[in-house]
Structure 1
Amino acid sequence: MTVSTRTAVIVGAGVGGLATAAALHRDGWSVRVLEKHLPVEPIGAGISIASNGLRALDTLGVGDRVRGLAAIHGDASLRTPDGRVVAASSADAFVRRFGDPMVLATRAALMETLLSLVPEGTLRQGSAVDVDPGDADRAASVTTADGEVHRADLVVAGDGIWSPLRRRLFPDHPAPSYAGFTTWRAVVPMPSSPLATGETWGRGRVFGAMPLADGLVYWYAAANRPAGGKHPDPRAELLSLFGGWHDPIPELVGSAGNNAILHLDVHWSDSPLPALHRGRVAVIGDAAHPMTPNLGQGGNQALEDAVDLAAVIAHHGDEVLDALPEFSALRLPRTTDVVRRSRRMGAMTQWESRPAVAVRNALLRLSARLSPDTAIKPLDSIMAWRPFTAA
């Protein structure tokens, strides 16, 4: 008897989409990835890959390749704008506690790694505008803007925070909400003065800087303000916000050209989806659980989604309709918790009242004195993730 190869259409060639394609391809599926913009351009400047994300990459066989990109050594501190240390943690402490370092890499490096895992020709140009979730008697299908219809045993919606497929599948679900702050990111050369690795928290403003491989630095900044504002000179705006902060923050901002600065308002979903599937369609990554960047877990949760989805489907003998309810039951509570934890952390950085900020900093200093791992201890349950197994 001939067993036909199962087929999957994945919408979106982001981190989650490409990781899902790699995991399903590894399991013998025939996979197509539809992406609006080809060739794939890595959106964003840098990405943090934590121990849970690295375990996901291990299942794809590229964890050690990504570990080789780690460049953080020594302390990573939380500071005030004048440079005083509030709390410190070290790369060694992170490894002792979680088994792996926090790897900061360019998004381009991670995307290149994931692209190497899928066969040539997997990516197809296509802007998905509609989806039919299918049922027990018929395949799911995706319709693109040019009218082409792609049918498959499984459709994966990994089409980002403003996912058209999510809106089609869950039309009554509220759209992501503005978190009240905007962000800027860039990759620049290592500054001439010593790099203060970690984050600096002010009143409603944050600046972070992390070393990358090859003598580069990934920096990011955040500030409270209404949604939708765009300054004609982002670097000048950033210097007005952070130019008086401790070294080397002004130099890092000044070394980025305006075209190299990515500016995005932050949105998140305060209302989880009722399920991460409908029919033969699974929803993953930012399409499923938009979150603020404060825990650096957006890409990591997408990687978890990808490998868990493939593993649950394999456990059910590739029977998609049996597997997807289990995928929802497995992933929805976890991603909901991570979304809410990240938002709580973000809310703390948005405080603007001088008394509130003074109390926040005093409590963080006290906690750091009582326990050296205070800064990373709240990550325990997030980093404890292991890929799905039948057991």
Structure 2
Amino acid sequence: MRIAVIGAGIGGLVVAAGLQSGGHEVALYERRDEPGAIGAGLTLFGNAFAALDAVGLGNVVRGVSGDMFGRLRSGQRTPSGSWLVSVPPSEATTARSLHRADLHAALVAELDRGTLHPNSRALVSAEGEPEVSVDGRTERFDLVVGADGIRSEARRTWGLDPGVRYAGYTAWRGVTAPAEVLSDEVRQATSETWGRGARFGIVPLPDRRVYWFATLSTPAGAAFEDQHRVLCDRFGSWHRPIDDLLASTPPEAVLRHDIYDLAAMPTRFVTGRGVLLGDAAHAMTPDLGQGAGQAIEDAATLVVLLRRVRDSGPVLDRALAEYDAVRRRRTTALWRQSRLTGMIAQQAHPVAVAIRNALMRATPSALMVHTATRLQRWSPPESVDEI
């Protein structure tokens, strides 16, 4: 089949590469002039790699990432540094860390020459017809995949847009300069520290850099004249190595964005011969670390379902219906759980924070691991065959 993919983010790249390797002709449209990863670090869990393996990209991504939880203590801490929940390396779930730019470059390299079309705003048909309009020229396809992010034009054009919701907090992200010698706090643990209406996460990368993120409950669109100074003032007194990480990050390299998710889940992910994927379908808060993972699952599910589909007849309808049912069920549960986790983590009232911390300390690490393992479990569907 001839398939158009709109959006060269992680999900768009994985589905384009996977479909292409399965024998489909793919055109990938990206509106930016120089497609690349806007962001910092990233953690991919076992479910993401199960999906990548299903489409032949697992080892590609392993090659630009490093084993994280398999060698580090992990869990949640308080600003003083005491552990609320601590999971030793021997019990932790599978996870690997990497830089988004490295992942993007590795996936782009898997595409055939001429597949990626930068500086191309591709518009879809409102009726879900398999066509896109680019620069006034309309091209026909057998299928159109909308992977164009949380503010998806495809979702809006197809009448599936529930709007977005501000989650109540803003987030900063950064990557330190390479360190000759990482501190013991970084070498021995990866953690997320929960304060009052604020969090700070630490994720070592495989190249002696450290990815960190910080959140702060604040009105949407709040202005901060000096982003780096705000971070130093708010988090500099928290446990080490937070102050060291901030000091090792160039101020101009700090990224900030308010956190949004979809206000509700779309009633469906498929309209005619158009299908939504990734944040375009189910943008969720980052509180479970599953945004990229779910986009990859979407991509792998679609690739596997279409593995034996060679035309746009009834068998394609069956494959799209299966994709819609499987992916809405899976992502709706995670979308809700991620929103709830963010609400708990961003608590600011002293009494609520005290109760939250007490409950976390009382929770066995084995239960936390079991819950995470269930969340991170994924297996590919059966390919759809001709009747």
Shared fold (TM-score greater than 0.5)? yes
Amino acid at match of 2:133: T
State the shift of 1:129 in Å: 5.7
* Range 374-383 or range 359-368, more displaced: 374-383
Cα distance in structure 2, aligned partners of 1:90 and 1:302:
29
Structure 2 counterpart of 1:261, from 249, 254, 268? 254
Contact (CA 8 Å) 1:59, 1:307: kept in 2 or not? Answer: yes
Aligned residue in 2 for 1:151 = 140
Alignment of 1:220-259 (within 5 A): 220-259=213-252
SS at match of 1:120: coil
TM-score, L = length of structure 1: 0.90
CA RMSD of aligned residues (A): 1.9
Runs of 4 or more above 4 Å deviation: 190-193, 315-318
TM-score, L = length of structure 2: 0.91
Aligned residue in 2 for 1:182 = 170
Aligned residue in 2 for 1:25 = 20
Aligned residue in 1 for 2:86 = 88
Query: Is 2:108 aligned against 1:119?
Result: no
Unaligned runs of 5+ residues in structure 2 are: none
State the shift of 1:71 in Å: 4.0
Amino acid at match of 1:241: R
Judging changes above 3 Å, is the alpha-carbon distance between structure 1 residues 243 and 225 closer, same or farther for their aligned structure 2 residues? same
State the shift of 1:356 in Å: 1.2
Judging changes above 3 Å, is the alpha-carbon distance between structure 1 residues 216 and 159 closer, same or farther for their aligned structure 2 residues? same
Cα distance in structure 1, aligned partners of 2:104 and 2:203:
19
Aligned residue in 1 for 2:198 = 205
Aligned residue in 2 for 1:358 = 354
Alignment of 1:14-53 (within 5 A): 14-53=9-48
Contact (CA 8 Å) 2:29, 2:122: kept in 1 or not? Answer: no
Query: Is 2:299 aligned against 1:277?
Result: no
Cα distance in structure 2, aligned partners of 1:210 and 1:286:
23
After superposition, the C-alpha distances for 1:184-203 in whole angstroms (9 at most, x for unaligned) are 11111345563252110001
- Identical counterparts, % of pairs: 37
Cα distance in structure 1, aligned partners of 2:282 and 2:271:
15
Contact (CA 8 Å) 2:307, 2:383: kept in 1 or not? Answer: no
Amino acid at match of 1:174: P
After superposition, the C-alpha distances for 1:215-268 in whole angstroms (9 at most, x for unaligned) are 110100111001112312110011121011011101111222222111111101
Cα distance in structure 2, aligned partners of 1:159 and 1:233:
31
State the shift of 1:377 in Å: 2.4
Unaligned runs of 5+ residues in structure 1 are: 1-5, 96-100
SS at match of 2:222: coil
Structure 1 counterpart of 2:327, from 325, 328, 331? 331
SS at match of 1:91: coil
Query: Is 2:151 aligned against 1:162?
Result: yes
